[in-house]
Amino acid sequence: MVKIDPDRLMADLKRLRGFGAAGSGAAGPGASGPGVVRLALSPVDLAAREWLVGRMTDAGLDARIDGVGTVFGRSRNSGPALVIGSHTDTQPTGGWLDGAMGVIYGLEIARALAENDATRHLAVDVASWIDEEGTFSGLLGSRSFVGEAVDESIRVATNRQGERLTDVLDAAGLAGRPRARFEAGRQVAYLEPHIEQGGRLEAIGKSIGVVTTIVGLRESRLRFTGQRNHAGTTPMAIRRDAGAALVAFIARMNDAFTQLADADTVWTVGRIDLDPGSMSVVPGAADMYLQFRDANPARLQAMDHALAELVRDFNAHNAVSVELQTIDEPIEPVSMDAALAEHIARAAEAIAPGQWLRMPSGAAHDAQVIARCMPACMMFVPSIGGVSHDFIEDTAEEHIVLGCQVAATAVASMLLQLSAGHS
C-alpha cells in the first residue's frame, strides 16, 4: 500500500494556513489564528500561490501559475494522468481547510506515489483552481480549464471593492500567460477531496464520505411592492406593507417546500432588503434573495413550479404585489462517476472498515465543472460541529490524516487500473 507522510501533510497544511491567518490569536505573517482570509488574487493569496508552486516543484511536478491564477502542477510521467484538485482561496471569513485540504492532499499523494517503487511511474497532476469562492467570478479556474469561454467573465468581473479582475491579473503579471487546459487522452480522471462542510459524518460517527452527487441549485430575487407610508398614522387595515407581505410569503413558501422536500433538500433566504429601512416608515418595497438546493432534478423542478404558483396566488389575493426574478442560470445536479467512487469506497473499507458512507454534496465544487470533460469523483472528511465558511472551521487531525491515506490508496488503485487499460 502507498503510505503518506502524516507529518509532512500536516506541516504543509499549517504552513498554508499562515498565509492570511485570521481570527483570535492571529497577529500577522506566520500567525496561527484558527481561520484564514485569503481572497482570490489578493496579495496574500498570490504569495500562497508562489509558495505552492515551490512545494509542487520540490515534489517533482512542473508547476506554474497560469493566466487566470490557477496553480497547476503537471506530472512528468506520461500518463494516463489523474488530476487531484480543489482551491486555496477563501471566503471573507474563511476556514483553513475548505479547499486547501484537497490541494495539499494532491501534493502529498503525488509525493507518496513517487516514493513507492510500485507506483512511481503513475501520473498525478495537482491543481489549485482560482476563485472557486467567487471573489471575482466563481469557479473561474475550473471553467477555464475545461475550455469554457471565460474571457467575457474576466472582462466584466469586479470584487466587492470595485477592483477589476483584468487590472488585478495585469498587476500580478499573470495577464497573457498560457492557461492550464484539459489534456484529452492524457488526463483521464479527477478527484477532489474536501471537508464535508456539514454535520452528517460527525453526527453518525463516520470518518469518510463517498460523494454520489453534487446538488443543483436555483437562485431568485422576489420583489414585493406596496406603498410607503407613515408608521404612526397609517391604520393597519389600509396598509400596503411590503415587509409584512414578504414575511407572510416566507411562511407559505416554507410550508410548500416542506411538503416537497426530503432530508437533503435545503432552502435559504439569505438576504432581505427593506425600502426605505426606517423604523418610522411602512416599507414600500422589499426584496428577498432565495436559494434552494437538491440532488434530484425532478424535485428542483417541482420547487420551481411551487414557487411560481405561490407568486401567482399571492398576487391574486393581496394588495402588495410580488415579482419573481431569476438571478443566475439554474445549476443542475451533477453525478459523480460511479466507478471512481467505488475505488474510494473500497479504500475506505480497507482502511476504516464500516466508517464510511455514500452521500451527496450540498455545496458547489470545482468537480461539477471538471466532470464536463472527464470522469470526476469526490470524498469528504468530517467537519467539527458541521461548521465551514467561518474562522472556527476545523477537522480532527486524525480524520485529515485518515482521509489522505484513503485518497492515496484510492488514487493508486484508480491509476493502476487505468494504466492497465491504456497499455
The tens digit of pLDDT for each residue in 208-245 reads 999 999 999 999 999 999 999 999 999 999 999 999 99
Per-residue pLDDT at 24: 56
Q: What is the DSSP string of 314-341?
A: HHHH-SSEEEEEE-S--B--EEPPHHHH
Sheet with 35-36, strands from edge to edge, namely: 21-22, 35-36, 94-95
The tens digit of pLDDT for each residue in 275-321 reads 999 999 999 999 999 999 999 999 999 999 999 999 999 999 999 99
The radius of gyration of the chain's CA atoms, rounded to the nearest angstrom, is 24
Is the pLDDT at 32 greater than 70? The verdict is no
Q: What are the respective helix, strand and coil percentages of the chain, to the nearest 5?
A: 35, 25, 40
For residue 288, what is its C-alpha cell?
428577498
List the Cα angle 4/7/12 in 5-degree steps: 95
The residue count of the chain comes to 423
- Residue 33 pLDDT class (50, 70, 90 cuts): low
Residue numbers in the known binding site are 87, 98, 133, 194, 389
Per-residue pLDDT at 407: 98
Q: pTM value?
A: 0.89
Per-residue pLDDT at 29: 45
Higher per-residue confidence, 78 vs 206: 206
Is the pLDDT at 261 greater than 50? The verdict is yes
Half-sphere exposure of 225 (CA within 13 A, CB side): 6
Cβ atoms of 345 and 367 within 8 Å: the answer is no
The tens digit of pLDDT for each residue in 137-175 reads 999 999 999 999 999 999 999 999 999 999 999 999 999
**Environment class of 303 (CB within 10 Å of its CB; exposed 0-12, middle 13-18, buried 19+):** buried
CA-to-CA distance for 242 and 282, rounded, in angstroms?
8
Cβ atoms of 88 and 38 within 8 Å: the answer is yes
Per-residue pLDDT at 421: 73
Residue numbers in the known binding site for Zn(2+) are 87, 98, 133, 194, 389
Per-residue pLDDT at 423: 57
Q: Give me the mean pLDDT over the 52-74 stretch.
A: 98
Cβ atoms of 383 and 199 within 8 Å: the answer is yes
**Environment class of 36 (CB within 10 Å of its CB; exposed 0-12, middle 13-18, buried 19+):** buried
Per-residue pLDDT at 128: 98
Q: Which amino acid type is present at position 58?
A: D
CA-to-CA distance for 89 and 92, rounded, in angstroms?
10
For residue 193, what is its C-alpha cell?
477531496
Per-residue DSSP letter, 137: S
Is the pLDDT at 26 greater than 90? The verdict is no
- Residue 267 pLDDT class (50, 70, 90 cuts): very high
**In a 3-state reduction of DSSP, which class is residue 305?**
helix
Pick the closest to residue 345 from 224, 190, 216, 210 (CA basis). 210
Q: Which amino acid type is present at position 78?
A: S
**In a 3-state reduction of DSSP, which class is residue 420?**
helix
CA-to-CA distance for 114 and 126, rounded, in angstroms?
14
Neighbours of 218 (CB within 10 A): 21
Per-residue pLDDT at 366: 97
Q: Give me the mean pLDDT over the 9-29 stretch.
A: 81
Contacts of 9 (CB under 8 A, 6+ apart): 104, 105, 108, 400, 401, 404
The tens digit of pLDDT for each residue in 72-119 reads 999 999 879 999 999 999 999 999 999 999 999 999 999 999 999 999
Per-residue pLDDT at 28: 47
Is the pLDDT at 328 greater than 90? The verdict is no
List the Cα angle 96/100/102 in 5-degree steps: 135
Neighbours of 153 (CB within 10 A): 17
Q: Chain-wide mean pLDDT for the chain? A: 95
Per-residue pLDDT at 135: 95
CA-to-CA distance for 72 and 186, rounded, in angstroms?
15
The structural domains of the chain, ordered by start, are 6-214+333-422 (3.40.630.10), 216-326 (3.30.70.360)
- In percent, the amount of the chain with pLDDT more than 90 equals 93
Neighbours of 163 (CB within 10 A): 16
Q: What are phi and psi of 390, to 5 degrees?
A: -155, 155
Pick the closest to residue 363 from 343, 342, 385, 386 (CA basis). 386
Per-residue pLDDT at 27: 45
Q: Which amino acid type is present at position 405?
A: Q
